[in-house]
């Protein structure tokens, strides 16, 4: 009888190209998992609130709006009561003055009614770079009476109107110095990222910054510290018929109350 040969049970070694493909597959799965994780993280930071009609950054505790004549007549009690999930409007910046003569026609009624609705309020001046910083500061001071618990005064500067950078900075600094001396509190600068970088820059890095930037993300794209972020100009809220700017404060409730006028 013929002897049966034993089968060779030794497995052939895995070739190098198979190992390479396994490494590539594992790497791809790892990358996909990383992307899914961060997509889900970003999705949780931003959530569409149907009451407000915009994506609202979720990783901030203090939310608010800013208004001017363009929001027309405002029902501040409805603004105060508006709520979606944990988000409500806790502060409002209100336009007061512009240049050396103009007063926002809705300022006084907005100022009084926001106060009556128990919304923490602040006033801002729209800066005209062709005009004297001193005269603009005096105009603002004549119209805005700040009290304990109000937000610091704000200088809205976002256009040079052809003024050279040296004169622009000089006039901005003049406004800031006079207003700070009068109210005994450092003013906030409001502007957009490009204007800050190109026109103001490091000369004003010591001032609190309120930055406008509408890219949908969890924070504005700027390197320096900022206090407020205007993240949308297309918000909707009960009590205001027009679109309204939405903002967040960069800090918790303790930090927020710390910046208020004492």
- Shared domain for 84 and 41, answered yes or no, is no
Q: Flag whether 5 is in a domain.
A: no
CA distance 112 to 14: 80
- Shared domain for 166 and 225, answered yes or no, is yes
- Shared domain for 131 and 238, answered yes or no, is yes
17, 41, 42, 66: the active-site residue: 66
For residues 106 and 71, the answer to whether their CB atoms sit within 8 Å is yes
What's the pLDDT tens digit per position in 192-243? 999 999 999 899 999 999 999 998 677 898 989 999 999 999 999 999 999 9
Which of 32, 47, 62 delimits the end of a domain?
Answer: 47
Predicted pLDDT of residue 58:
86
Tokens of 106: 């809705």
CA atoms within 13 A on the CB side of 213: 21
For residues 77 and 114, the answer to whether their CB atoms sit within 8 Å is no
- Shared domain for 185 and 139, answered yes or no, is yes
Measured over the CA atoms of residue 199, residue 205, residue 209 and residue 213, the dihedral's sign is: positive
Q: Flag whether 3 is in a domain.
A: no
Q: Flag whether 182 is in a domain.
A: yes
Q: What are phi and psi of 14, to 5 degrees?
A: -65, 130
Q: Flag whether 10 is in a domain.
A: no
- Shared domain for 33 and 153, answered yes or no, is no
- Residue 51's nearest CA partner among 26, 29, 79 is 79
DSSP string of 155-205, one letter each residue: EE----TT--HHHHHHHHHHHHHHHHHHHTSPPEEEEEHHHIIIIIGGGGT
CA distance 103 to 242: 20
Give residue 22's domain range: 18-47
**Residue 66 annotated in active site:** yes
Which of 47, 64, 87 delimits the end of a domain?
Answer: 47
DSSP string of 202-244, one letter each residue: GGGTTS-EEEE--SSSSS-S-SS--SEEEEEEEEEETTEEEEE
- Shared domain for 130 and 152, answered yes or no, is yes
CATH number of the CATH domain containing 76? 3.20.20.80
Q: Flag whether 162 is in a domain.
A: yes
Predicted pLDDT of residue 216:
63
Tokens of 45: 């930071």
Count of structural domains, the chain: 2
- Shared domain for 142 and 195, answered yes or no, is yes
- Shared domain for 151 and 28, answered yes or no, is no
Alpha carbon of residue 189 to chain centroid: 12
Q: Flag whether 55 is in a domain.
A: yes
- Shared domain for 208 and 114, answered yes or no, is yes
- Shared domain for 66 and 175, answered yes or no, is yes
Predicted pLDDT of residue 184:
97
- Shared domain for 36 and 55, answered yes or no, is no
51, 158, 174, 180: the active-site residue: 158
Residue 243 burial class via C-beta count within 10 angstroms: exposed 0-12, middle 13-18, buried 19 and up: middle
**Residue 158 annotated in active site:** yes
- Shared domain for 39 and 57, answered yes or no, is no
Predicted pLDDT of residue 55:
87
pLDDT tens, N- to C-terminus, the chain (262 residues): 444 444 454 444 556 666 767 666 665 554 554 434 444 445 455 555 558 989 888 889 999 999 999 999 999 999 999 998 889 999 999 999 999 999 999 999 999 999 999 999 999 999 999 999 999 999 999 999 999 999 999 999 999 999 999 999 999 999 999 999 999 999 999 999 999 999 998 999 999 999 999 986 778 989 899 999 999 999 999 999 999 999 999 999 999 999 999 9
Predicted pLDDT of residue 48:
59
Q: Flag whether 8 is in a domain.
A: no
Return the number of other C-beta atoms located less than 10 Å from residue 24's C-beta: 10
For residues 248 and 232, the answer to whether their CB atoms sit within 8 Å is no
Q: Flag whether 9 is in a domain.
A: no
Tokens of 181: 């001396």
Alpha carbon of residue 16 to chain centroid: 53
């Amino acid at each position: 009888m013929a002897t049966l040969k034993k089968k060779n049970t030794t497995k052939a070694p895995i070739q190098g190209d198979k190992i390479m493909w396994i490494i590539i597959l594992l790497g791809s799965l790892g990358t996909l998992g990383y992307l899914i994780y961060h997509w889900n993280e970003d999705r949780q930071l931003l959530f569409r609130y149907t009451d407000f009609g915009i994506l609202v950054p979720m990783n901030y505790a203090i939310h608010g709006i800013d208004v001017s004549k363009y929001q027309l007549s405002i029902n501040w009690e409805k603004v105060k009561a508006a709520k979606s999930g944990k988000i409500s409007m806790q502060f409002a910046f209100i336009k007061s003055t512009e240049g050396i003569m103009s007063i926002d026609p809705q300022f006084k009624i907005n100022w009084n009614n926001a106060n009556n609705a128990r919304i923490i309020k602040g006033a801002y001046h729209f800066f005209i770079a062709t005009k004297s910083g001193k005269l603009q500061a005096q105009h603002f001071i004549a119209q805005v009476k700040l009290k304990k618990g109000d937000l610091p005064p704000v200088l809205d500067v976002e256009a040079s109107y052809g003024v050279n950078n040296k004169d622009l900075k000089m006039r901005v600094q003049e406004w800031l110095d006079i207003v700070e001396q009068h109210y005994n509190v450092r003013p906030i600068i409001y502007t957009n990222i490009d204007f800050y970088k190109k026109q103001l820059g490091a000369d004003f890095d010591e001032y609190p910054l309120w930055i406008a930037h509408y890219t949908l993300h969890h924070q504005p794209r700027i390197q320096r510290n900022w206090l407020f972020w205007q993240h949308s100009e297309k918000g909707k809220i009960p009590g205001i018929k027009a679109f309204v700017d939405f903002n967040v404060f960069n800090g918790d409730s303790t930090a927020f109350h710390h910046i208020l006028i004492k």
